[in-house]
Amino acid sequence: MKKVLVILFIVLLVIGSIFLTVKYFEKRTVERHFDSYLEEHSYQNDILSRETKYDFKIGKFYTRVYFKKYPERTYEYHYFSKERFFGAAYEKGAEIETTEYLKNAKYP
């Protein structure tokens, strides 16, 4: 019985390690492509703060950004494929209509 538990523990540890490694590289890929998006549109100097988060509902990473010009707004960029982002802006918890900082960030 102890052998079975030890083997089960090792299998779970290996599977967990593989899962975390895959998710780490997915996150880095999203961040790298988002950096290219920022550079392409010259937004990188306008950023107040940013963070990459994981959405467990859809199983994908997204980047949440606050820009210096609008610190009360939240911009979320969802990565779909190389250089394809969907962006949305939120203010006071509600989505707002704006095109600023969302150039070429539309549904794929």
How confident is the model at residue 68, as a pLDDT?
A: 93
Asked if pLDDT for residue 105 goes beyond 70, the answer is: yes
The 3 state secondary structure assigned to the chain is CHHHHHHHHHHHHHHHHHHHHHHHHHHHHHHHHHHHHHHHCCCHHHEEEEEEEEECCCCEEEEEEEECCEEEEEEEEEEEECCEEEEEEEECCEEECCCCCCCCECCC
pLDDT at 22 over 80: yes
Residue 107, pLDDT score:
52
Q: What is the pLDDT of residue 108?
A: 47
Residue 70 pLDDT exceeds 70: yes
Cα distance between residue 61 and residue 55, in whole Å: 6
